[in-house]
Amino acid sequence: MSASGKNKGRNSSGTLGRILLISYFFPPTCGGGVFRPLAMVKYLSRLGWDITVITATTPRHYPTDPALLKQIPDGVEIKKIPVVWEGSLIQRVLGKIKLDWIPRHLVTPDERAFWAEKANTMAAKMLKDGDFDILYTTGPPFSVLQYGLMLKRANDIPWVAEFRDPWTLAPYLSIPNIHHRRIANDTEKELMEKANAVVMVTPTFTRLMQEKYPDAASRVYCIPNGFDREDFENVTRKKVKNEEFTIVAAGTVFGHYNMDRFLTAIETIKNSYPDVYSKISVNFQGLPDYRLNQRLLDHNLINRCHSKGFVDHSENIQDLVDADLLILPLAKVLNCEGHIPSRTYEYLASGSPVLAIVPDGDLNDLLSDFPQVVRINPEDPDGAIKALTDLISKWENDERIPRAEPSRLRLESRKMRANEMHEILAGIKGKMKESG
């Protein structure tokens, strides 16, 4: 159905062309993988592209934010396919008895391949019956890219393959065994040969892909993530000072994002500087994580640290703007220099101070342009403690925190990113027209 809930006739006359986008994540599902395809659809549609989206229904354990549906332009057609495995009774049972690792070792490239196969069947019929100009697949899940390759083989349609996270180069993704690794490498190699454009989201991963596949280097592009300026249009900053030094940590809050260094700093402040600790209020936002909650209980931090869980996107944006400090951690692991958490851009757009516990790399380079960011290396054991106490002191004394020039921030907008994608799509269509 279309975004307005009515079936509309598809007519490419007067448009730049028709795009078939396959994205597992799309509103009303909410989470980190949703906002890039949503923004691309919104702004590419405004530029004149006619877009149809094949996506999944919301998995059982994922949050939803129905307000995001309002951002989808009229005329965008949405085709929803029910999730097949994720959230199913069998998956939940295996999870309870701690055997949920078995499907990950049996299904390649991931358990969402069951859904991607159904999406492939629908897309194949639509490509046969319709007059689409470009196929655009975005992953993870990487099964979407794998089936995008199958569609390219069968239809020879111009294809844009987007890696929101890298696949074989991923610093965090666990490819469970040698069999999976071989299939991933073979599939990625053929993908790089057949895709008309491959889009990465950070400079380092763009460079690494170009180096790994030199014959395809000219077709590998970097279009980073960004923030949507329209998300901030109706947000107002508090005119009165917060009663407590309010810290917000949004998104994934544990594991490879290295929240451990920040939590250790909070624990040290609690034990060594109780007067400072009494002024702190920490608000964790995101999907609940039992390890985080257990640590807050074990160290008796629940009087000052709160796991708020998932909140709607508009509420999250308001909380970022109202915060006295935002926490942005990143662990030092293999290829971490190429990782930039997508929430980084909304942190920067909020104008609030940011404590970034990050190693050298693309994220560190990006943050260096923004004076409201204090950067600490994860290997500095006392850096976070010192930074927190200094920032709290500045808050108490009402010291002004500098902000980046608006012109610098404007470069990181989702609208600008969609313009970059538009140039790639228009170039591909132009070449196909010349060759045809």
- 90 or 256, greater pLDDT: 90
Measure the CA–CA gap between 119 and 114, rounded to whole angstroms. 9
Of the listed ranges 8-12, 89-93, 218-222, 239-243, the one predicted with least confidence: 8-12
- CA dihedral (357, 362, 364, 369) in degrees, to 10, reads -140
- Half-sphere exposure (Cβ direction) of 423: Cα atoms closer than 13 Å: 10
Q: Specify whether domain 230-410 bears CATH 3.40.50.2000.
A: yes
**Whether residue 258 has pLDDT greater than 50:** yes
Measure the CA–CA gap between 267 and 265, rounded to whole angstroms. 5
pTM, 2 dp = 0.90
Across 206-232, average pLDDT = 97
Quickly state the pLDDT bin for 221 (edges 50, 70, 90).
very high
DSSP calls for 225-244: --B-GGGGTT----SS--SS
Phi, psi values for residue 135, rounded to 5°: -100, 130
Angle ∠(233,239,243) on CA atoms, nearest 5:
120
Q: Where in the chain are all domains bearing CATH 3.40.50.2000?
A: 17-226+413-435, 230-410
Q: What is the mean pLDDT of the chain?
A: 89
Measure the CA–CA gap between 105 and 35, rounded to whole angstroms. 29
Quickly state the pLDDT bin for 401 (edges 50, 70, 90).
confident
**Whether residue 97 has pLDDT greater than 80:** no
Across 221-246, average pLDDT = 93
Q: Enumerate the H helices of 73-141 as residue ranges.
A: 89-96, 101-106, 113-129
Cβ proximity of 83 and 307 under 8 Å = no
Across 186-200, average pLDDT = 97
CATH topology assigned to domain 17-226+413-435? Rossmann fold (3.40.50)
Angle of helix 35-47 versus helix 414-435 axis, rounded to 10: 60
SS3 17: strand
pLDDT tens track for 305-359: 988 888 899 999 999 999 999 999 988 877 889 999 999 999 999 999 999 999 9
Cβ proximity of 164 and 93 under 8 Å = no
Helix and strand numbers (H, E) in the chain are 16, 13
What is the share, in percent, of the chain residues with pLDDT greater than 90? 66
Retrieve residue 79's tokens.
């085709």
DSSP calls for 116-131: HHHHHHHHHHHHHHS-
Beta bridge partners of 283: 248, 306
Nearest to 168 by CA among 184, 186, 145, 190: 184
Q: Provide the residue type at 1 as one letter.
A: M
Measure the CA–CA gap between 32 and 373, rounded to whole angstroms. 22
